[in-house]
Structure 1
């Protein structure tokens, strides 16, 4: 199951956040080309990713997108890159890259600060095929 993670984009998310789990589910349903895998920031894999880069490893308010061997994206740039990788109509979100990152990240941070209020806190349970896309070690 984990042997192919190095060929995928890894989405690191807060595993205890309803908005984050909704976002993961949204990407899973649209990942028709099997380009993504997922790891919670709280997992050993997520903690290793954060620690190796000197990133905050106790507060989980940032989404990261990483293609192993390449640069990683954070916050709004991660969201826009995920849409770009999904392709199709989602590539239209590239217009968001016209905004400077500090502005689009302000919107991201506003959502992040209020995400627990926004989440309906339903528990997302991936099906067997979707479970293969989660890195838990």
Structure 2
């Protein structure tokens, strides 16, 4: 397996020179769906660990919204590079935020989580109000880190950038 395949999301594995690579170069090579998340949010970090447990095929790659690659992907999709109010699912040229991003991710997972996709029948405004309520209180309920924590090895292999090594 080559280090380049790691960074594009085609395979999992180590690589420690990503911190020297241009975020635009990494973004150009992405070939799998990427989930951008709030790297300092404890709820987001716990959810990411759960997602990995139910993504047996390794379909998704990850990047903190605050990371250089995260900011590059936000900008490429017309979002403010300081947009931290929602997870963002990047899938090819398309992107999804809030409840739609979460439910689209659930649809692709193993186990019972794809059943949650049925919530797409709930009007988006209602779903997003619930999403926003949880998001508005996530730091008070779940806490936050001062910086993105270094993930364990299993999770780290799924990140677009390996600058956390």
User: Separation in 2 of the partners of 1:38 and 1:112?
Assistant: 19
Larger Rg: 2
2:140 equivalent to 1:117: yes
- Alignment match, 1:3: 8
Instruction: Give me the TM-score of the superposition, normalised by structure 1.
Output: 0.88
Residue in structure 2 matching 1:91, options 110, 114, 117: 114
**Alpha carbons 1:22, 1:124 under 8 Å: kept:** no
Root-mean-square deviation over aligned CA pairs: 2.0
Aligned to 2:69: 45
Q: Pick the structure with more helix per residue.
A: 1
- Residue 124 of structure 1 and its aligned partner are, at CA, apart by 5.9
Give the deviation of 1:110 after TM superposition: 0.3
**Aligned equivalent of 1:130:** 155
C-alpha contact (below 8 Å) 2:40/2:144 kept by paired residues: no
Q: TM-score with structure 2 length normalisation?
A: 0.74
| Conserved 8 A contact 1:64-1:74 | yes
- The structural deviation recorded for 1:121 is 4.7
Q: Cα–Cα, structure 1 residues 29 and 87, in superposed 2: closer, same or farther, change >3 Å?
A: closer
SS at match of 2:108: helix
> For the Cα contact (< 8 Å) 1:62–1:74, is it kept in 2?
yes
* Residue ranges of structure 2 left out of the alignment (5+ in a row): 1-5, 11-29
Unaligned stretches of 5+ residues in structure 1:
none
In the alignment, structure 1 residue 31 sits paired with structure 2 residue 55: yes
Shift of the alpha carbon at 1:28?
1.2
User: Displaced runs of 4+ in structure 1, greater than 4 A?
Assistant: 120-125
Is 1:65–1:78's contact at 8 Å kept on the other side of the alignment? yes
